[in-house]
């Protein structure tokens, strides 16, 4: 029984050194980790998809254990000032945010696939196919989730939040760093430029998908439509005390 538990812990939790090695090497040389995994070294590191969903699970589990309201947390990190909008718009944004959190694993996977596709497209002349490109992107995206995990702890302890725009820039920088560490068929500056375009294309297409889905959802739901009607969303104006 003891041996069985040790084997289980070693395989699942990485007590045999797999998890610590994956953490340290992805921080220092993410591209090399993806390369080693692609060429067949499957016992040295966690698999990219497994690692991706592991960090997502840790994020959601930690938020639950710390009793952090992820809806409020995500709305506070959003650069758009929703509080200036009417109550109906605020309610719709809150509902969308809650739905996003409830389906975070599926949505995160779907969003990451956009990055995989455009990375494969812009670096198509490399020797890596779509699935191999996915190993790099899922490794890198999953590893950056640790930053969000730290931010959850900081938020719980101090109430401080980081604007999601800066988090996006940091995520982009780490992904491009991984590209430079992974690809060798282009110069470093060409890889950086293409990496920037990968993110521009990914988020542009994603924005259109989100806008289209939101418009469709609102157009088919009268209750949501009523909530965002201008007549139901007049900004609150503080009234001056009556002069006697």
Q: Are 1 and 9 in contact (CB under 8 A)?
A: no
pLDDT tens figures, 56-87: 999 999 999 999 999 889 888 875 655 555 55
- Residue 137's alpha-carbon distances to 18, 41, 83, 120, 184, in angstroms, are 19, 17, 35, 10, 16
pLDDT tens figures, 84-97: 555 567 777 788 88
Distance CA 54, CA 125 (A): 31
Distance CA 85, CA 18 (A): 48
* Torsion over CA: 100, 106, 109, 115 (sign): negative
pLDDT at residue number 244: 45
Q: What is the mean pLDDT of the chain?
A: 84
Apex CA 77: angle with CA 220 and CA 25, to 5°? 110
pLDDT at residue number 222: 74
* Torsion over CA: 152, 158, 164, 169 (sign): negative
The count of other CB atoms within 10 Å of the CB of residue 97 is: 18
Distance CA 132, CA 57 (A): 24
| Higher pLDDT among residues 15 and 157, named by residue | 157
Q: Please, what is the angle between helix 48-65 and helix 104-122, to 10°?
A: 140
10 Å CB burial of residue 230 (0-12, 13-18, 19+) is exposed
Distance CA 120, CA 112 (A): 12
pLDDT tens figures, 127-140: 899 999 999 999 99
pLDDT tens figures, 140-151: 999 999 999 999
Q: Are 177 and 151 in contact (CB under 8 A)?
A: no
pLDDT higher than threshold 50 for residue 116: yes
Distance CA 112, CA 204 (A): 13
pLDDT tens figures, 198-234: 999 999 998 898 888 888 877 777 777 676 666 666 6
The greatest distance separating any two alpha carbons of the chain, rounded to the nearest whole angstrom, comes to 84
């Amino acid at each position: 029984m003891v041996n069985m538990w040790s084997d289980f812990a070693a395989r699942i939790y990485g007590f045999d050194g797999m998890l610590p090695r994956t953490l340290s090497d992805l921080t220092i040389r993410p591209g090399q980790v993806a390369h080693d995994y692609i060429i067949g070294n499957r016992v040295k590191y966690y698999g990219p998809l497994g690692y991706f969903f592991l960090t997502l699970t840790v994020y959601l589990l930690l938020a639950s254990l710390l009793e952090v309201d992820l809806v409020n947390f995500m709305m506070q990190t959003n650069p758009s000032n929703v509080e200036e909008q009417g109550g109906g718009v605020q309610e719709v944004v809150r509902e969308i945010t809650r739905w996003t959190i409830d389906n975070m694993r599926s949505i995160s996977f779907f969003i990451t696939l956009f990055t995989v596709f455009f990375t494969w497209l812009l670096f198509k002349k490399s020797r890596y196919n779509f699935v191999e490109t996915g190993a790099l992107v899922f490794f890198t995206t999953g590893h950056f989730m640790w930053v969000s995990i730290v931010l959850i702890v900081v938020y719980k302890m101090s109430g401080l939040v980081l604007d999601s725009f800066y988090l996006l820039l940091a995520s982009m920088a780490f992904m491009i760093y991984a590209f430079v560490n992974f690809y060798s068929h282009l110069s470093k500056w060409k890889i950086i430029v293409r990496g920037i375009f990968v993110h521009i294309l990914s988020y542009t297409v994603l924005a259109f998908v989100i806008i289209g889905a939101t418009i469709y959802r609102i157009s088919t739901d009268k209750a949501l439509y009523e909530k965002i009607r201008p007549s139901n969303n007049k900004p609150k104006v503080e009234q001056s005390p009556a002069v006697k």
